[in-house]
Amino acid sequence: MVLGGGNRRGARASDPTFDHLSAYLETGCADRSDHEAVFLAAGPESRALFGAFVHDTRRGQAQGGVRHWQYASLEAFLRDGLRLAVGMGRKCALADLWWGGGKAIICPPEPPRSREERRTLFREFAEFVTSLRGVYITAEDAGTTPHDMEVIHRHTRFATCIPERVGGSGNPSTMTARGVVRAMQAALDHRSLGSLSGKQVAMQGAGNVGAFMIERLFEAGVDGVVASEIDEDRCTVLAERFPGHFLEIRHAQPGDNRILEEPCDILCANALGGVFDAKTVERIRASVVCGAANNPLEDERRDARRMRERGITYVPDYVANRMGIVACSNEQAGSLPRDRYIERHFDGPEGWKHSIYNTTREILERADCDVIATTEASESLADMRAREYHPIWGHRAREIIEALWQEGWANTRD
């Protein structure tokens, strides 16, 4: 099934059975933002629901990770995919990548019970991606592993973030962590708060990205890190990993957001989205909020504006956490040690104009100059860049979407 529209017309369902979904996307969903298409399918054996969400593809094919997650409702599934696709498009535009915004979700009726069931699930998803003929390029995201990406790559060419042993870029966690720390430095400079040296950091989520981030923060001289983590075994491992540094790891239950109230200089959210809402924003005791989580604000405008009113500098997620997609976006071009096309994203103020540092400073300065929330400043800049057409292929992905529609893509999924 395809639900498509984009800038030229309203949402359309490929089958009248799903007209209620197109109506919801057209009038009842605040997260729809001129998305060009939403593709939905069910796995023949796994019975999982697959979704590929395609936002603006003028800069190129839609690219973004696949989230393997379970949702309480179809509405939650759709809203998450729509929001994540928009964020990916803005991330690519601000990073000066020739890619559009995309995201995929795998929602199984229940978690795979065996290795074989998991392989079947990701094989079926890969076949779903292949059927889209390159409109969407998939990658690793929450709930997926490098091995899952290898399975996907065996069944579709439209995949990145594949393991190094088969020619990919591997796990991007260390790159993502390094990029978020660079954004923190830019925010501190903007506030004239000095360097990371001597600062206190509070962190929600200490998984792969969080652990690498802690390492980078200690290298930069922070005084201490207080982190919450839901994996009890990981808490134990991390507590022993950084001898000689002040690191407090608190085991937290899912939904426990008390770490967001911790007194600190920088608050870093690395878990899932929506943790900053009307209540939690009022309890923040930090000067800067900057983390790796996607969509950490429940409401992009309301919550960012309230942070501004409270004197908190918020760095939008897709400004800080770009390096996951940067590291794997152009794997087809080969790899180099300390690749200059990747390393330039870490440049300081005198370096590349689109680096994380310089982009963060530009957005924070725009927000202050126009007296608007940082999310409004970043959206304006990203959406302006997203309107640029791919220098070689133009709006080719949109043409593929229209061809899939005309050829009856939905009927081929039966």
Active-site residue list: 103
How, if at all, do strands 200-204 and 266-269 pair? Answer: parallel
- The DSSP code sequence of 166-191 is GTS----HHHHHHHHHHHHHHHHHHT
Distance between CA atoms of 160 and 149, rounded to whole angstroms? 8
The pair of three-digit structure tokens given for residue 63, joined into one six-digit string: 């690219």
Q: Are the CB atoms for 54 and 25 separated by under 8 Å?
A: no
Distance between CA atoms of 226 and 307, rounded to whole angstroms? 21
Q: How far is CA 328 from the centre of its chain?
A: 13
**Beta bridge partners of residue 241, listed in sequence order:** none
Q: Are the CB atoms for 104 and 62 separated by under 8 Å?
A: no
| Strand segments (E) across 258-299 | 266-269, 288-289
Q: How many CB atoms lie within 10 A of CB 210?
A: 28
Distance between CA atoms of 176 and 156, rounded to whole angstroms? 25
| Strand segments (E) across 34-108 | 37-42, 49-54, 62-68, 100-107
